[in-house]
Chain A
């Protein structure tokens, strides 16, 4: 067993609309080793995004424990959580969530700007080249195709060399060709940079990329045999 980068234990999460309470995650537990790809499959509405939001500290669990890079998230204040999100986690969202006011290269550089690190333009250019977007680096998100935006989002997630990348249905909005291209890219990143990846999808073909594959059903996680 390798070094654990993320450990979630008995996470519960429910949403309430005042009258009724909907339990989304029940006893959700997951260990992610450094360099491991984990895929979580599930139907729409099964709680994949909620699970990833909690694992990425974008949302809080009702109960359970979460540690990232050996640090207990529960005890952290908002500033410490911001630091964890900036340094230890990279996010790839289904809808890319690029900043429309910034060019591709600026979007990729943004995590390092927030980090206060020296200008890492060389690394950003290197990443954008690896994504095959050198010609599009100064284009704004509105000038990029869906596949290109996804790749920019991946490059942005990798910019601060996080140990963990959380990808929430990154292929959800892509055609098959672009989806395969992105999955190949994630596989290559995992090999080259040895980053752990937790990826949610409802597509079994994409889920095969995972070293471990899980199903999320009725709020509970079960590993594929």
Chain B
């Protein structure tokens, strides 16, 4: 056994009784910190994964914007399904009630295969639309009801009047993503071409990538194949602000929960400082025998890890266990009418585990280093005379 390890073990054992209270607190603090951080990150991951899957379910993995034909794209490897679309700001009207919406004309034959959201009713056919449940609620409409739809940009008319098309609501979808349920109205490409008179062709094509196929490599292949006039965006590019907000939220969580580690680190530094005072003479003896300053520092750091490290490991294991149990048995319920799932989603990624290990490691190291620094630099003769 390494001698520094041996000395730190004996020093820890001999001082356990005197500083057990403070040592216990630093151990518990590190444990709670690790546990809280793992649980928080896994819950955030769970919800992020849910949001990602919903967004991807609505928009696909990639969007090619510009003049492009479906056939050009479909030849490439890794594509599950493509959805050509035209999109315009438009208005839906019911009597005096008018709402500005995004009219999205799509290939209705593929609609149920491409869009992964609950749909009450059926896909739209000619002169039919599918609207979101929030919009339906605000308009007071249901499946089978009629609404007026028009695109003011495309259909200016003499005397300032705009021709309106009467359409039947064939289905109501529910995504629970951002304001999508209030904003989007789906209609057929046939109706889209009639409504969007100033558009010469498709606005773009949404692409759903085969499971386990690398989206980035498909994006690269598309960029190589298609002309420079088209834009290729992933769902992250399309939802940049949301992705950034989630990243900031994650960072904020890590910073705030690190404060638990900070408090535990103060406790640890206090406990180690107490031990250091008790062990000044022994350190003087070791230095007189030729122990270098770095070794003394290592001994104190090892003592720090011996105490707080155990707490951190316990918190770490408990956090992982809770995540596994929650995923297996769904112990913590959430309202399914809001979230579409009935148990709190918890997902752990290896990088989060590394983050927690790194943060706890750094705090223990820092606290131990600060506590041991003074001791390691104590003059030998002063240390040997300590307590005389």
Contact = CB atoms under 8 A, between A and B. Distances in A.
Q: Does A associate with B in a complex?
A: yes
B286 interface: yes
Interface stretch (B6-14, B102-110, B158-166): B6-14
A59 B381 CA distance: 7
Contacts of A82: 287, 290-293
B282 A86 contact: no
A82 B286 CA distance: 10
A86 B381 contact: no
A17 to B, nearest CB: 15
B379 interface: yes
Interface residues of A, number: 26
B289 A101 contact: no
Given A93-B384, A97-B281, A86 B289 contact: yes
Which of A56, A58, A59, A86: most chain B CB closer than 10 A? A58
Interface string A123-147: 0000000000000000000000000
Contact of B289 (A59, A79, A100, A110): A110
Given A97-B285, A113-B3, A58 B380 contact: yes
Interface string B314-335: 0000000000000000000000
A127 to B, nearest CB: 15
Interface residues of B, number: 25
A149 B47 CA distance: 66
B288 interface: yes
Contact of A91 (B10, B288, B292): B288
Contact of A101 (B13, B290, B292, B293): B13
A85 interface: yes
B295 interface: yes
Contact of A53 (B10, B13, B381): B381
B14 A85 contact: no
A162 to B, nearest CB: 10
A87 B290 contact: yes
Given A59-B379, A97-B281, A99-B282, A115 B290 contact: yes
B384 A114 contact: no
Contacts of A86: 289-291
A122 interface: no
B290 A85 contact: yes
Interface of A: 53, 56, 58-59, 78-79, 82-87, 91, 93, 97-102, 110-111, 113-115, 156
Given A59-B381, A101-B282, A91 B14 contact: no
A205 to B, nearest CB: 26
Nearest to B285: A97
Contacts of A98: 285
Given A53-B381, A58-B380, A93-B384, A111 B289 contact: yes
Contacts of B284: 97
A85 B7 CA distance: 19
Contact of A97 (B6, B7, B13, B288): B288
A84 B291 CA distance: 11
Nearest to A113: B3
A32 to B, nearest CB: 19
Nearest to A60: B379
Contacts of A83: 290
A78 B6 contact: no
Contacts of A99: 10, 282, 285-286
B381 A114 contact: no
B285 A78 contact: no
Contacts of A53: 380-381
A91 to B, nearest CB: 5
B381 A85 contact: no
A58 B14 contact: no
Contacts of A87: 290
A156 B290 CA distance: 12
Contacts of A59: 379-381
A114 B10 contact: no
A53 B380 CA distance: 9
A185 to B, nearest CB: 20
Given A58-B380, A113-B3, 20 more contacts: A53-B380, A56-B288, A58-B288, A58-B384, A59-B381, A79-B294, A82-B293, A84-B290, A85-B288, A85-B289, A86-B289, A91-B288, A91-B289, A97-B288, A97-B384, A99-B285, A100-B14, A102-B10, A114-B289, A156-B289
Given A100-B14, A114-B286, A79 B292 contact: yes
Which of A83, A100, A156: most chain B CB closer than 10 A? A100
A101 B381 contact: no
Contacts of A111: 289-290
21 contacts: A56-B288, A58-B288, A78-B292, A82-B287, A84-B290, A85-B288, A86-B291, A97-B281, A97-B284, A97-B285, A99-B286, A100-B14, A101-B10, A101-B13, A101-B282, A102-B10, A111-B289, A111-B290, A114-B286, A114-B289, A115-B290
Contacts of B290: 82-87, 111, 114-115
Which of A53, A98, A101, A111: most chain B CB closer than 10 A? A101
Contacts of B286: 99, 110, 114
